[in-house]
Amino acid sequence: MENIFDVAIVGGGIVGMATAYRLAHRDLSVALLEKESDVCQGVSKANSGIVHGGFHYSASTTLKGRLELRGNLAFDRLHAELGFPFQRCGILVVAFAEDQLPALEKLYRQGVENGVPGLELCDAERTRQLEPKLNSQVFGGLYAPGGGVVEPYRLVFALMSAAVQNGVRLYCGFQVAGATEQDGTWEIASLDGRSLRARYVINAAGLHADDVSRLFGAEEFEVVPRKGEEYLLDRLSPARPSKVVFPVPSAHTKGVLVIPTAGGTTMIGPTAEIVEDKHDNSTTAANRKRIFALARKMVSGISERDLVTSFSGSRPVIEGKEDFFLALSEKAPRFLQAAGIQSPGLTASPAIAEYLEQLLAKAGLAIKDKTTAFLPWQPTPALREISPAEADRLHDTDAPGWTDVVCRCEKVSEAEIRAAIRQGHDTLEGVKLATRAGMGRCQGGFCGLKIMRLIAEELGLSLEAVMRRESKGKANISVLGGSRQ
Amino acid sequence: MKTLEYEIAVIGGGAAGLTAAAQAAAAGKRTVVIERSRELGGVLLQCIHSGFGLHYFHEELTGPEYAARVQQKATEAGADFLLASTVMQILPGKKGPLLTVYSRQEGVVWLQAQAVILAMGCRERCRGNLGIPGDRVSGVYSAGTAQLLLNREGIVPGKRAVIVGSGDIGLIMARRLTWSGVKVACVLEIMPYPAGLSRNIAQCLEDFGIPLHLSTSITGIHGRNQVESVTFAPLVNGQPDLTQEERVTCDTVLFSVGLVPENELSRDCGIKLNPLTGGALVDEDLMTSLPGIFSCGNVLHVHDLVDFVSLEAERCADSAVRYCARERRPGSQIQIAPGANVRYVIPNQVTPGQPHHLLLRTSRPLAAAELQLRDTTGNRLFVKRLRHLRPAEMISLEIPHDCTAGAKGLVLELEELN
């Protein structure tokens, strides 16, 4: 353990990874500590995948309002660099009652004050013209052409791969169990007995940022999970709108949305309710009914017949605080808080990374560009996105598995799955998030076993040793609960 | 990129595809079967129980034996096979349907056919498709996935199972799990009658004392990492009555809640589908709304017995062979629609005045019924008394040639008799 890292980032979600990616461009040594076996397994996995428009919060009175717009504007460059699925499809907030129009106008004024480009307040006719899938009972809309959708896991994975390729050290299965500070260096211990040293620490631990803060003797706060359920519809659903459709927001939530996801499906949700358990990923029959009813009020073509699956995830809300907590700790030295990153955290993440870098500089870390060239990241092609000619070329020049379709619903080739496993996404869940294999209408019914065989083969494991996903604070559990006869 | 030419391209190498290919090749047509898996036989390969073939081969076979028989027929008739090959799209070509095939062995293949037979089979509805609430835990499988694991990999999924839905695969798996030392706690069925065949209720549940709860809905799956329990409640006025909710501990949940024809490829190329079956709308030749593209087996409608799949596939292949020979049916076809108590009828169009072979299902159990074929003015053209009708069991019907002459449209009804 001769090496002392300049920066250790705790948490491999979007905030940690965006920061690691940014710092990978600098002349710094960086460690990323992730408690699960893969990154993007917490808050960043189960969210709406929206690049928000920059009008929901005031940029002059809230940090998240300011960073949302700045983050939004950074996505084109990030997308050009990393090639994750991202579309600026536009956002449409729709008033379905006359008395919602004042709230819409307020949002418009706030957006204009924030400096959102291209924002447009629309009458009913213009709103329907922008989104023909809307119900006819439309009174007006707010159109933000710069809003969009992103596949959050592919974004995080691309950030990870690019960061690692450029020197960031990734420690998976590293659950911080304790930290001590001496002579300007933190010594950080993992639950499994490993330890490492770093001069600066960034707390990007999502739902567990309160625990991590406590372990470093920094600020005391509580992260409460605000759970949201999402319902995913088949990519052939006729209800898929061309833009993200929002209702007029209430005081606490942006409401249930209809989302044309970056992956080509339609998603409706989320709910927003405070829950006790940070590991709660359940869904309820009552919320299913409510979400479908609310979504159908906006887009009538939505049908439970098109349901593929449902899931839930939680936003990390700091009790008593609705804004992001981005600051140098006042209690622990060289310890940076990146906590309470609820919506619009995904949108803001590039700007959060920039903000954290400035805080590091303020705390005395020299931020200089790398003297060596940054190695660009080449994403694995996706079979469903390339032409037959390109697929044939890859078959001939790279691997026969390029034209062997393993996941029929999402059209994922064996070669893509092997590439994902080799990049470290070696659980069934990891392969799914990295490639979409198993994410489609049959939910892995046909391809699950084939993918398990590929994981077992690539890792030299038995089928029984293949993992479904990260554990919930217990030992990892295999896909197969049972045993071989 | 390669190009290939065939007279008839069969998509899918299961029971339907292999039988159709055998029939088409035997008629002298250059025929290819395109199969996405690395082996032929489809779902039959994991159905190691017996009970197949009584109607088609007149002897009792296991699934793999049945698959081997139809594969042998196709091979002997001279059909070609493209394995580990997936049809990505069907384009309207100059000479007929043009298929883009991604093949592990061959790379990308452009396959020109004169006629195409769709035989892609069906898939299982899964937990996610139904929005079953509760925790996201390991130990939840579609019944067919569990069957694949157990019968082909020798992996027993758990120790104590609950089966949701009483479809045939679920019933077969109840028996199979019991034989493998798994305690099957119960089978939950939302309808007031079982979804599977009567013989499977008797042989797979009753013989082993496995309780079947009818009119009962699963209300949640619970656990932290692995399934720990399932809750369920009886239906009252169509909704689960939560005051009567019960909990049963288990580590495994199997879903056998219906099969869906795999028609995404068909939808992509513009074939019109029947919302009642999830299969293509077909005429008397089992031809879809796109000329030269035919459909048979479970991708057309979900069958109860594989024997009927093969019989339908033969008929479909005969039509495709006639199509290649440019033989067309004389006159125009008229619509035939399901009426009271009929869930669906195949085909959806017939030529009036010809003999018709119809397949239908009742929409609810009927002890006795009179089947009535009427024209659009209400005239009864054909009647037949039927007994012991169940939604799980398909009804096959031959209509003599002169019944429908002059009709402008047809409706098929089942009138309940007391």
Tens of pLDDT, residue by residue over A181-235, are 999 999 999 999 999 999 999 999 999 999 999 999 999 999 999 999 999 999 9
What is the per-residue pLDDT across A233-257, written as a single tens digit (0 to 9) for each? Answer: 999 999 999 999 999 997 777 899 9
**In CATH, which of 3.40.640.10, 1.10.10.10, 3.30.9.10, 1.10.3720.10 is domain A87-146+225-316?**
3.30.9.10
Mean pLDDT is lowest, of A268-282, A461-475, B48-62, B65-79, for A461-475
Q: Touching check for A441 and chain B: CB below 8 Å? A: yes
* Contact (CB<8Å) A445/B144: yes
Q: Touching check for A279 and chain B: CB below 8 Å? A: yes
* Contact (CB<8Å) B126/A481: no
Per-domain residue ranges for chain A?
1-86+147-221+321-379, 87-146+225-316, 383-465
DSSP string of B75-92, one letter each residue: HHHT-EEE-SEEEEEEEE
- Chain A residues whose CB is inside 8 A of the B153 CB are 449, 463, 484
Mean pLDDT on A97-121: 97
Q: Reduced to 3 states, what is the DSSP secondary structure of residue B198?
A: helix
Is there a contact between B293 and B116 (Cβ–Cβ < 8 Å)?
A: yes
Calculate ∠ Cα A263-A267-A273, nearest 5°. 130
Amino acid (one-letter) located at B78: G
Q: Which tokens sit at B151?
A: 């019968």
Q: Touching check for A483 and chain B: CB below 8 Å? A: yes
* Contact (CB<8Å) B130/A409: no
- Chain B residues whose CB is inside 8 A of the A314 CB are none
* Contact (CB<8Å) B123/A477: no
Q: Touching check for A479 and chain B: CB below 8 Å? A: yes
pLDDT of residue A3: 81
- Chain A residues whose CB is inside 8 A of the B226 CB are 477, 481
Nearest beta carbon to residue A310 from set B1, B124, B128: B128
Q: Grade residue A88 by pLDDT with cuts at 50, 70 and 90.
A: very high
pLDDT of residue A483: 42
Nearest beta carbon to residue B107 from set A232, A236, A395: A395
pTM assigned to the model? 0.94
Is there a contact between B178 and B155 (Cβ–Cβ < 8 Å)?
A: no
pLDDT of residue B221: 98
CA distance linking residue B299 with residue B241, whole number of Å: 36
Mutate to test the interface with A, among B155, B255, B299 (most CBs of A within 10 A): B155
| Cα–Cα separations (whole angstroms), residue B69 to B18, B44, B73 | 9, 11, 6
Q: Does pLDDT of A6 surpass 90?
A: yes
* Contact (CB<8Å) A443/B224: no
Q: Is A279 considered catalytic here?
A: no
* Contact (CB<8Å) B155/A383: no
Tell me whether the CATH fold assigned to A1-86+147-221+321-379 matches the one assigned to A87-146+225-316: no
Q: Grade residue A347 by pLDDT with cuts at 50, 70 and 90.
A: very high
Mean pLDDT on A397-415: 97
Nearest beta carbon to residue B126 from set A285, A445, A477: A445
Amino acid (one-letter) located at B90: I
Nearest beta carbon to residue B131 from set A307, A414, A482: A307
Q: Does pLDDT of A116 surpass 60?
A: yes
The whole-angstrom distance between residue A175's C-alpha and the CA centroid of its chain comes to 20
* Shortest Cα–Cα distance, B125 to chain A (Å): 7
Mean pLDDT on A343-351: 97
- Chain B residues whose CB is inside 8 A of the A396 CB are 107
Beta strands at B107-118 and B122-124: parallel, antiparallel or unpaired = unpaired
Encode B315-349: b = buried (16+ Cβ within 10 Å), e = exposed. bbbbbbbebbeeeeeeeebbebebbebbebbbbbb
* Shortest Cα–Cα distance, A207 to chain B (Å): 18
For A396, which residue in chain B has the nearest alpha carbon? B107
Provide the percentage of residues in chain A whose pLDDT is more than 90.
Answer: 92
Q: Does pLDDT of A471 surpass 80?
A: no
Q: Touching check for A295 and chain B: CB below 8 Å? A: no
CATH topology of domain A1-86+147-221+321-379: FAD/NAD(P)-binding domain (3.50.50)
Q: Touching check for B83 and chain A: CB below 8 Å? A: no
Taking a contact as any Cβ pair under 8 Å apart, which residues of chain A between 173 and 232 contact chain B?
Answer: 231-232
Domains (range + CATH), chain B: 2-123+260-324 (3.50.50.60), 126-257 (3.50.50.60), 334-416 (2.60.40)
* Shortest Cα–Cα distance, A467 to chain B (Å): 10
Q: Does pLDDT of B323 surpass 50?
A: yes
The end-to-end CA distance of chain A, in Å, is 45
Q: Reduced to 3 states, what is the DSSP secondary structure of residue B312?
A: helix
pLDDT of residue A485: 38
For A429, which residue in chain B has the nearest alpha carbon? B138
Selected catalytic residue, list A25, A52, A56, A279: A52
Q: Which residues pair with A295 in a beta bridge?
A: none
Nearest beta carbon to residue A468 from set B36, B106, B138: B138
Nearest beta carbon to residue A408 from set B36, B104, B224: B36
Q: Does pLDDT of A482 surpass 90?
A: no
Q: Which tokens sit at B245?
A: 């909710």
ipTM for the predicted complex? 0.95
* Contact (CB<8Å) A283/B159: no
* Shortest Cα–Cα distance, A210 to chain B (Å): 22
Q: Does pLDDT of A95 surpass 50?
A: yes
Q: Touching check for A442 and chain B: CB below 8 Å? A: yes
pLDDT of residue A470: 52
- Chain A residues whose CB is inside 8 A of the B121 CB are none
Give the position of tokens 């119809």: B358
- Chain B residues whose CB is inside 8 A of the A392 CB are 1, 107-108
What is the per-residue pLDDT across B389-418, written as a single tens digit (0 to 9) for each? Answer: 999 999 999 999 889 999 999 999 999 998
**In CATH, which of 3.40.50.10610, 1.10.10.60, 1.10.10.1100, 1.10.10.10 is domain A383-465?**
1.10.10.1100
| Average pLDDT, rounded, for chain B | 96
Q: Touching check for A397 and chain B: CB below 8 Å? A: no
* Shortest Cα–Cα distance, B403 to chain A (Å): 38
Mean pLDDT is lowest, of A396-400, B67-71, B223-227, for B223-227
Mean pLDDT on B100-115: 98
Mean pLDDT on A360-379: 96
Amino acid (one-letter) located at B364: R
Q: Touching check for B224 and chain A: CB below 8 Å? A: yes
Q: Touching check for B219 and chain A: CB below 8 Å? A: yes
For A399, which residue in chain B has the nearest alpha carbon? B104
Count interface pairs A-B at CB distance under 8 A.
141
Q: Which tokens sit at A129?
A: 């013209």
Q: Does pLDDT of A481 surpass 70?
A: no
